[in-house]
Homo-oligomer: A and B are copies of this chain.
Amino acid sequence: MPETTLAKTRAAQPEPHCSIARSLEVLGEKWTLLIVRDAGRGRNRFSEFKDNLHVSSDILADRLSTLVDAGIMERRSYRDDGARERFSYHLTESGQDLHVVLGAINAWGDKHRPSDFGPASIYRRVGSRTPVTVAFVDASGRSVAPEEVEIVRGPGSEPTAP
Contact = CB atoms under 8 A, between A and B. Distances in A.
- For this complex, into which size category does the number of interface residues on chain A fall? 35 or more
A78 interface: no
Interface string A6-50: 000000001111111111111111111110010011110000000
A157 interface: yes
Number of identical protomers:
2
B100 A108 contact: yes
A128 B34 CA distance: 37
A135 B141 contact: yes
B123 A94 contact: no
Interface of A: 14-34, 37, 40-43, 53-54, 70-72, 94, 96-115, 117-127, 130-139, 141-144, 146, 148-158, 161-162
B19 A34 contact: no
Contacts of A41: 151, 162
